[in-house]
Amino acid sequence: MKIQITDKPGVSISKGMIGLFFEDINYGLDGGLHAEMIENRSFEFMEAKGDKGRFSESYDGLYGWTAYPAESSGATLQIQTEQPQNEVNPHYLEFTAADRQNAFTNKAYDGVSLKPGLQYQVSFYARAEGYAGGIEVSVEKNSTVMAQAIIATAVGEEWTRYTAQLNCSEPVSYGDFVIRLDAPGTVCFDFVSMIPSNAVLGLFRRDLVELLQEMKPGFLRFPGGCIVEGYNLENRYQWKQSVGAAEQRRNNSSRWAMHGNNEENHYTSEYSHYNQSLGIGFYEYFLLCEYLVARPIPVLNVGLACQFQSTEHVGVHDEDFQKYIQDALDLLEFANGPVESQWGALRLQMGHPAPFGLELIGLGNEQWETEHADFFTRYDLFEQAIHAQYPSVQLIGSAGPDVSSEHYTRAWEYYRKRAKANPNFVYAVDEHYYVKPEWLCENVHFYDQYPRDIKVFAGEYAGHYGNGMNAPHFNSWGAALAEAAFLTGLERNADIVVLASYAPLFARLGYAQWSPDMIWFDGENSYGTPSYYVQQIYSTLMGTKVQQTVHDQEEIPYTVSYDEQQQVLYVKLVNTLERSVTVELETEMSLTGLGEAYVMQGQEEDVNSIGTPRNIAPHSYPLETAGSMVYEIGPKSFHVLKMYCGA
């Protein structure tokens, strides 16, 4: 295969084209990105049961909390509401101990893990009547105390926040978090928290954020995903309930608590207690975007519940529908408004006087037009209201759940018709495709013939050899290699595809409702999948313009881009074949003779894991460059040639 690289620049590549899509699925937030180690910290958890159109919730505030030791007979745990710490989350724990041996513990997913050198900030609200003792907090392993702190102050009759630091001298894997009274009596507790001192911004689990940082993402789309819509409208994500004091954010059960429910399992599952504490809300998402230097792209509900789960909706002529539109306008004020405004004042109160600079908003997650869901009318009304007040804000529409059905075709007809009269009507259309790797390989030219009038956001995609719960083996090299091939088409068509993100982002091992996922983790460690490293390569090794090329028979997918500032040429070559391919490169660009090659290669079934986190990962090698060269591309491999240009 012969490729001639001309000195003629092609289309521009949007800065930050490759980014992140985050949804609280697979315990990706609570139990994952949120550094909080305690589960059900406010005693507000719900148990969700049911299936499409037949949902039920029941309160289960003691979920995750038990007497310690388990066989203890003198400990009593009861949920009360008579004198709450706050009215939004009114339940709290009343704990009674008959003697000092009685205590209580938290499930904490798989238990809490400690590392020497870190401090663990423990906090909780407590109050008591007639109790003269203090409170002891510890982490124990097989009944051996590994870390301990004593709050010596006598507990008063008013709700008071108490704090303590836990330290350990040796590692602890999945220990028991224990609270013990140092005298017999009764004490009430609420909002129990434990966060490690290395948490990014005091909020986010460091190893997961570092993996995101290494990608250098251009944007972060949040908070989903299907949780934007909810399994019904009451269950939808409401951004206003995710801001303000953390202990006063209303707990919400997760739409993913219903995933996999059926008659055989009595419409319940091991994930029935999957809840959203909202400890990370819209304010914290904005902070994370700043930290990652990524553009925020919040997605808002348009009055439709998840169309896979429900036909519930608010009619566009109903008074309540205006609340959804007002939520969008108020979000823009919260993110960008002056501190004298209502929502700008809340941003100031939370600690961020400067605007967040929100420029993009997604309207609806994965909506499509049906007899029950008049999505197009809803988009019209949102667009008119938003652009009347904020004409520079760019809007992202939805093409539905796939790129092959009539929903997709009708969506594009709708956007193109509206955009002819109003070029500001939509910035980009969000396309989703969870497909077989073969489809990705066969469609590397999918966008070559797209009309250039409206941009594309490839918002959710992944190569699927299979899909299921807790299946990290689906994140194989074969799937990632197909994604690398497909991404050549996205890069080559960067004038139309301006944003792209793999999905889902995170999965906790043993807690996943959906596979494959880009990053897997447990309570102690994490790793990027082969798909993660493909995304990282495209995000970090991409120019500012596509460079024009000429080739003979296209044996394998490729793309060439040039970074005008750095004067660096990037050649991506993706060999999905079972045989090697010889590539002859000729370039009209002046090269310095220096460069690097980044190579990923393996068997289709190869995967990464906690034990072998870089089994499939890029390796770099020195590369001698010249105006012409011959390069051997091994079977099932992905290569990026980085070549420096100069006089």
574 and 481 in contact (C-beta within 8 Å)?
A: yes
What is d(CA 599, CA 601) in angstroms, rounded to the nearest whole number?
Answer: 6
Q: How far is CA 528 from CA 52, 220, 466, in A?
A: 33, 18, 19
| 366 annotated active-site | yes
Helices H, strands E: what count in the chain?
Answer: 9, 35
508 and 109 in contact (C-beta within 8 Å)?
A: yes
3-class secondary-structure state, position 308: coil
Catalytic residue among 366, 369, 431, 460: 366
The position carrying tokens 């120019």 is: 543
Bridge partners of 93?
A: 79, 189
CB atoms within 10 A of CB 436: 14
What is d(CA 528, CA 606) in angstroms, rounded to the nearest whole number?
Answer: 13
What is d(CA 308, CA 370) in angstroms, rounded to the nearest whole number?
Answer: 12
Q: How far is CA 560 from CA 164, 223, 573, in A?
A: 55, 34, 9
* Residues in Cβ contact with 185 at an 8 Å cutoff, skipping those fewer than 6 apart: 96, 97, 128, 130, 131, 132, 133
* Residues in Cβ contact with 27 at an 8 Å cutoff, skipping those fewer than 6 apart: 109, 274, 507, 508, 511, 512
What is d(CA 398, CA 400) in angstroms, rounded to the nearest whole number?
Answer: 5
Structure tokens that stand for 182 in this block:
């140092």
Q: Which helix (H) or strand (E) holds 285?
A: helix 282-292
Catalytic residues: 366
